[in-house]
Amino acid sequence: MTRPASPAQPASDAQPASSALPALPDVPGPIERPRRLRSSSAMRSLVRETTLRPADLVLPMFVREGAREDRPVSSMPGVVQHTEDSLLRAAEQAVERGVGGLMLFGVPERKDPVGSGATDPDGVLNRALARLRSELGDATVLMADLCLDEFTDHGHCGVLDAAGHVDNDATLARYREMALSQAEAGAHLLGPSGMMDGQVAAVRDALDAAGCADVGIFAYTAKYASAFYGPFREAVDSSLTGDRRTYQQDPANAREALRELALDVAEGADLVMVKPGLPYLDVLTQVVEASPVPVGAYQVSGEYAMIEAAAANGWIDRDRTVLESLLAFRRAGASTVLTYYASEVADWFTTGLPDHLREFA
């Protein structure tokens, strides 16, 4: 069907086409203008809700038995297995920079089924603890990882039964012995990290019975069975075969962390921890809201390795990413952050932040 033609308009009636937009009516501006408080660096600093200080940070450190030179951890650029001498130098440097504490892990030459090196007064971890305490005294908070995994030839955090399963209660007996060895060596805080039921109570009882009531417990309350621990296995020369899912927490569970929190506090924990960090900020916030004691977070090896790998490829601004990630823990409520960046970041703050990082001051 043919559409009828429109009648032609007289030339005098034709109007030129216009590209001008129609005028908008006057609309009042927004009543709320949050951008006023973002208008300058000084203004942002004035209203900043979350701060980061060297004293908020704890430096995890590895010491290797019999080492004559530092051994780099390939999956964690910048992190090494220390000799006993270099451990002391690095610890002194961290303390001078204002780092809040040191968490020590040992890498023994020999391992066995029950982790004998963990309770040997002359074992690598206890010897290193004693030397640091002798040299540093109370200038820092000296912490010790209280777990058997570095010392067992099977790599699990406890002793095994005849069927090859981790024996919870037999492991607690070893933790009691380990606690006394670390307290005797001079640790201020012990970090039971094996996720055994009743571990905090066992350690607290052993310490109190031995007259070590002043030694505190930094409980690994919510330690998840995480893929983010991969580089750490290299850092401690782990012998693990299999996995730790029967004792570390299921990554799918959050409420379970609050149950673990209640148990640890009732058993005598002085501080509690969520590990890993960034993938579990929701859990960290819930634990902070429920906890009557200070809460820490551990920025684990996999988190560190991802930042380093992305920065090496030029995909991110390394230094800003480091500080932003640490602020995330503090914003979520952590009073203490364990991070392999602790000494480096403390140096940035004590010597003056570079221009591109001043927003974090």
Q: Are strands 336-338 and 71-72 parallel, antiparallel or unpaired?
A: unpaired
Helix (H, G, I), strand (E, B) or coil at 9: coil
Residues in Cβ contact with 60 at an 8 Å cutoff, skipping those fewer than 6 apart? 102, 103, 104, 105, 298, 338, 339, 340
Among 190, 188, 260, CA closest to 224? 260
* Alpha-carbon distances of 168 from 23, 198, 199, 268, rounded to whole Å: 76, 9, 9, 19
* Alpha-carbon distances of 36 from 9, 123, 135, rounded to whole Å: 56, 59, 51
Torsion 161-266-142-285 (CA) sign: positive
Residue 254: left if φ>0, alpha if ψ -120 to 50, beta else—which one?
Answer: alpha
Among 156, 237, 249, 170, CA closest to 202? 170
Pairwise CA distance, residues 101 & 201, whole Å: 24
Residues labelled catalytic: 223, 275
DSSP symbols for 67-135: -SS-EE-TTSTT-EEEPHHHHHHHHHHHHHTT--EEEEEEE-S--BTT-GGGT-TTSHHHHHHHHHHHH
Residue type, 238: S
Helical ranges in the chain per DSSP H = 41-46, 84-96, 124-136, 168-185, 199-209, 230-235, 255-267, 281-290, 301-312, 318-331, 342-351
Q: Buried b / exposed e across 322-344, counting CB within 10 Å, b at 16+?
A: bbebbbbbbebbbbbbbbbbbbb
